[in-house]
Amino acid sequence: MNDKAPNMIWTPSGPQSLDGSRRSRVELKPALIEWLVQFSDFAEYYKLGLHCSECGSDLIGKNSESDKVFSAVCNCREFVGGNRDYRPPS
């Protein structure tokens, strides 16, 4: 069980830390971010999630299939990677 209070909020420009700390950015290859996208569908169906062992919070992604870059965050890190299926709007 996680006894830590969340230290971030979601804003229109993305997640913001409440204590002023910055997340470290982890860049993933498109194949790895695609794995997270596929796991997201599986996890939603079976009510599962990913938990960060560094900060003790859940990994959360708020993405659209049409996004150029996908992102998932916990309290200490932001995982980003290019959407390999991205096509510029015509």
Give me the phi and psi of 45, to 5 degrees please: -65, -45
Q: CA 46 to CA 33: how far, in whole Å? A: 20
pLDDT at 23: 80
Specify the pTM: 0.70
Take residue 58 and report the two structure tokens written for it. Answer: 């859940």
Q: Which of 83, 67, 86 is nearest to 29 (CA)?
A: 83
pLDDT in tens, the chain (90 residues): 445 555 666 666 566 666 666 788 999 998 999 899 899 889 999 999 999 998 888 898 888 888 999 999 988 899 999 998 898 888
pLDDT at 37: 87
Give rounded-to-5 percent helix, strand, coil for the chain: 20, 30, 50
pLDDT at 15: 61
